[in-house]
Amino acid sequence: MKHLSKKTLLLIIGFILLIGLFIANILVQQLQPKTQPQVITPRIPSIDNKPYSITEFSFVGETPRFPQTLPLFQARNQQLSMQHTAEQYVQLLHMTPTTSPDTWESIPESSYLTVNKITNQISYRKLQIPTSTTSITLDDAVTQSTSFLSALGITDVSPLNEEASFLSGESEPEKATPEDATMIVLPFQKKLSDYPLFFNNTTARAAEMWIHSRAGIIKADLLPTPQFEEYNTTTLMKINDAIQELKKGNGILLSARVVSGGPFAFSDLASATFTTVSLEYRFSPTTNLATPYYRFSGNAQTKSGITTFVELSTPAVFTQALR
């Protein structure tokens, strides 16, 4: 066997050493204990459990004379049949059945009444409408509508004058000014104990009347509303107590007149100065009760500095009265 040269021998020794170092490194890694990956816990912001509070709510207006007590009303489980109600109306209007189902007519008055079984709406229509250039006032419209509804036994309603529409023309009426209107469309709202009733933020519409300057009532849409019965009598809280409830955040933002920066929520308010307060009923499907509420209106400022006119509502009775 030939002797290896010195250079070749060195290369072989170096190669053997590299292999040895590689094996040694592997053995060292195997013998070291395995470490778990570092767990980073995210920073959870602290929760402010302080109750929401507005310290600058105040009432500076004249307080109306409200009763000390008012009844709570409970919705009846069984509502009146609109078909049965319509049959009562046609007797009062001296109408007779027609060949069309759920329709009655009055030939002398040239009018008819129908029941829509899908919407449960009762509709009255007068067929012959004379041409008129005579204007009609809102007071006349209220008087004629109230008289018509009272003749049907509907007395627990009040007109929504602020939502009246003023029209002129016959076949295709157009908008008109109150001074030039020959026809007025006037909605009516259901009321309890002479105070208006609301479902959530909407009015409890009971009727929509069309009043003509010469023909009188030419249209009447009578809408189905829940029937209520007195449930209990409760004492109303004082205005200052209601303001304290609003400061705690116990209220509803009904409307806001925002020029810029809106819309916003009740919790965005920083202060408010109320100048008027009224009383109303609000129905809750959760409790099945219609409860008295105060409605405050005035100027408010949001936390971002926006000034606006607002309407807020808060219960007029303490919570324990509803139990």
CA torsion sign for 257, 53, 198, 316 is negative
Q: Report the number of distinct structural domains present in the chain.
A: 2
Residue 100, domain member (yes or no): yes
State whether 236 and 196 are in the same domain: no
CB neighbours of 105 closer than 8 A, spacing ≥ 6?
Answer: 95, 96, 98, 111, 112, 113
Whole domain around residue 164: which residue ranges? 77-225
Q: What is the pTM of this model?
A: 0.73
pLDDT at position 195 is 95
What pairing do the DSSP bridges indicate for beta strands 195-199 and 269-284? parallel
Mean pLDDT (whole number) for 150-169: 94
Residue 242, domain member (yes or no): yes
- Per-residue pLDDT tens digits for 22-40: 676 666 555 555 444 333 3
CA torsion sign for 203, 320, 278, 136 is positive
Are 181 and 135 a contacting pair, CB within 8 Å?
Answer: yes
pLDDT at position 307 is 86
3-state helix, strand, coil in the chain (%, to 5): 20, 40, 40
Name the residue with higher pLDDT: 255 or 4: 255
Max mean pLDDT range (31-45, 54-68, 181-195)? 181-195
Instruction: Look over the chain and give the mean of its residue pLDDT values, rounded to a whole number.
Output: 83
Report whether pLDDT(320) > 90: no
**Residue that finishes a domain, picked among 208, 225, 242:** 225
pLDDT at position 236 is 96
Other CB atoms within 10 A of residue 124 CB: 26
H or E segment and range at residue 240: helix 239-247
- Per-residue pLDDT tens digits for 101-123: 899 999 998 999 999 988 889 99
State whether 106 and 239 are in the same domain: no
Max mean pLDDT range (14-28, 69-83, 101-115)? 101-115
CB neighbours of 240 closer than 8 A, spacing ≥ 6?
Answer: 59
State whether 83 and 68 are in the same domain: no
